[in-house]
Amino acid sequence: MTKKLTAKYNDSCIKLFEFIKMLYEGDVEFKKVINHFSDGEYNGKSNTHVTLNKYLNAMKIFGIKVKKINHKYKMLSSPYKIKFDIDDLKSIKLLKQAGDILPEGKNKTNFEDFIRALEIRFDDSAQNICRVENSTQNLDLEFSNSEITDQLKYCAKLCKDKQKLEIIYTDDKGGEINLLCSPIEQIYEKRKHCLKVLGNNGSRVYDIPTDNIKSIKQLPISSSTQAIPTTVVYRIKNRLAKNYKIRDWERLDKIEYDGSQVIVNKNEDLNLLLHRLMRYGTQCTIISPKFLKEEMIERINKTLENYE
Partner 1 sequence: MKEFLKNQKVTYNLMSFTGYKALVLFSLLAEGPKSYDEICSYFLNHPYLREKISIDTVRVYINSLKRIGCEVKRIRGEDSISRYVILSHPFELKLSPEQIQSIVKVYKSIVKNMDVTELLAMDNFFEKIGSYIKNNQFISDMKKISMLRDIDKELLKDLLDCCDKKQQIVINYSSPNTGKKDIEIIADKIDISNNKIYLYGIGFEYKQYGSFLVNRINQIKEIKLQKTIPDDLQVIRVIYELKCPPDKIELNDNEKIIEQNKNKTVIEVTTSNEFLLRQRLLEYGPLCKIIHPDEFKNKFVELLKDMKAGYYCD
Check residue 65 for interaction with partner 1 (CB under 8 A): no
| Beta bridge partner(s), residue 175 | none
How far apart are the two ends of the chain, measured CA to CA in Å? 90
List the one residue from 34, 76, 98, 139 that touches partner 1 (CB under 8 A).
98
List the one residue from 34, 64, 130, 177 that touches partner 1 (CB under 8 A).
64
Q: Is 92 in a helix, a strand, or coil?
A: helix
List the one residue from 35, 36, 72, 143 that touches partner 1 (CB under 8 A).
143
Q: Are 28 and 13 in contact (CB under 8 A)?
A: no
Check residue 1 for interaction with partner 1 (CB under 8 A): no
Burial class for 79, CB neighbours closer than 10 Å (0-12, 13-18, 19+): middle
List the one residue from 28, 33, 101, 167 that touches partner 1 (CB under 8 A).
101
List the one residue from 18, 123, 161, 253 that touches partner 1 (CB under 8 A).
18
Query: How many CA atoms lie less than 13 Å away from 175 in the CB half-sphere?
Result: 4
Check residue 172 for interaction with partner 1 (CB under 8 A): yes
Q: Are 155 and 103 in contact (CB under 8 A)?
A: no
Q: Which of residues 188-247 bind partner 1 (CB under 8 A)?
A: 188-191, 242-245, 247
Check residue 20 for interaction with partner 1 (CB under 8 A): yes
Which residue lies nearer to partner 1 by CB, 219 or 252? 252
Check residue 79 for interaction with partner 1 (CB under 8 A): yes
Check residue 168 for interaction with partner 1 (CB under 8 A): no
Show the beta-strand stretches assigned E in the chain: 28-29, 65-69, 72-77, 163-170, 176-189, 192-199, 205-209, 213-222, 231-236, 250-255, 261-266, 284-288
Stretch that binds partner 1, among 107-115, 130-138, 147-155, 198-206 (CB under 8 A): 107-115
In the complex, least distance from residue 221 CB atom to partner 1, rounded to whole angstroms: 29
